[in-house]
Amino acid sequence: MSVATERSALSSVPMLDLKAQYSAIKEEILEAVHEVLENQQFILGPAVAELERNIAAYCGCRHAIGVSSGTDALLISLMAEGIGPGDEVITTPYTFFATAGSVARLGATPVFVDICPDTYNINPSAIEAQITSRTRAIMPVHLFGQCADMDPILDVAGRHNLAVIEDAAQAIGAEYCGRRAGSMGHYGCFSFFPSKNLGGAGDGGMVVTNDPVRADTLRLLRVHGAKPKYHHQMLGGNFRLDTMQAAIVNVKLRYLDQWTAARQAHAKRYRELFEQNGAVATGAVRLPYEMRESRHIYNQFVIRVEPRDDLQTHLRQCGVGSEVYYPVPAHLQRCFEAFGYREHDFPNSERAAAETVALPVYPELADASLTRIVDAVGDFLAARKSAWLPHPPLVDAGGILNGFPAECSSPTSISANL
């Protein structure tokens, strides 16, 4: 029996195990659900207002507006700014489709800026060159649980009078220089999709803001622009957060910091194990890159390895779950062909899409499972000696710092934690 076959015969290690999370808080969840069923206030009931207060406090913001999904959080924020046909929004091509999709859905144009290859977040130094008279907003994404480098983004946005809409769908609780994700721009957008660090039992989302006027606009937009009822002040939509979802997320919010600490501990253990097997020193595996003065919440633990697809096949044979975020960057999506982007326009995003894979990092993961995952990766690399050759630099020209572009790696804010 091969090593892979033998290991697959053991209990598998899933990419995510929501049943383990639920079993630990089952009684509290059922109690919260029962309360909603008893009061029968399913639309914008008391639990929604309670969650809005709790999320606002958790994120360090004055206002929070519950909405129907993370996608709708982005959409309603763009709508609140009046963004539409003829407008441009600057964002990253290496993200979930909803980021650029929400822009295009309103008839506006997503203008892409490549990522820093270390953090996978938008490169702040490349934003200003893409600003035109049609630019209305910048939408940075805090990918995988780590905030984008926000100070230079906020600086360029302020100088050009642009709105900043933080796509923090994967980053609730993440911090940048002492500030929480979502609290730094004009809007912060969160998702409660079940697989997120803070997930519901279906779709749900939240927008946070410190601006009372923008908060009132968001509240109006989520109920078809009606105030009072049946009197419509603007064209909005049905963007309301279900009371049932709010009740469930309220329970889970109590445990979020505990779960985040467990994810961070797993990330630390991964680093130790990969360093012990030599994969880091040889450059066969690149581990997540943590910024200094930040709090990475590890919504995903993403490594870079070649050949990625073959590794994922091997992990599957070993009974180890994994996921690729995201195999096709936004600028190469078929539905965006009209924007005129081509292959090689954003090499860092394209290379990340081809080389990265996320490993399990959910809070309930056992140490033995972490060891098994790293051993499986090590077995794969040992069988492919060529994969142990160091990675070439992630860019072909320009300043290189630890294999990364110098403009993406500030010595004052980035820790070489590879």
**Domain 3-15+256-408: assigned CATH number:** 3.90.1150.10
- Domain ranges in the chain? 3-15+256-408, 19-253
More confident position, 15 or 395: 15
Summarize pLDDT for 230-260 with one digit per residue, the tens. Answer: 999 999 999 999 999 999 999 999 999 999 9
- CATH fold of 19-253 reads Aspartate Aminotransferase; domain 2 (3.40.640)
User: What is the pLDDT at residue 11?
Assistant: 81
User: What is the pLDDT at residue 402?
Assistant: 37
In this model, does residue 398 exceed pLDDT 60? no
DSSP H or E segment with residue 401: strand 400-401
In this model, does residue 9 exceed pLDDT 60? no
In this model, does residue 7 exceed pLDDT 80? no
User: What is the pLDDT at residue 384?
Assistant: 85
User: What is the pLDDT at residue 417?
Assistant: 37
In this model, does residue 388 exceed pLDDT 50? no
Query: 225-229 — which CB contacts under 8 Å span 24+ positions?
Result: none
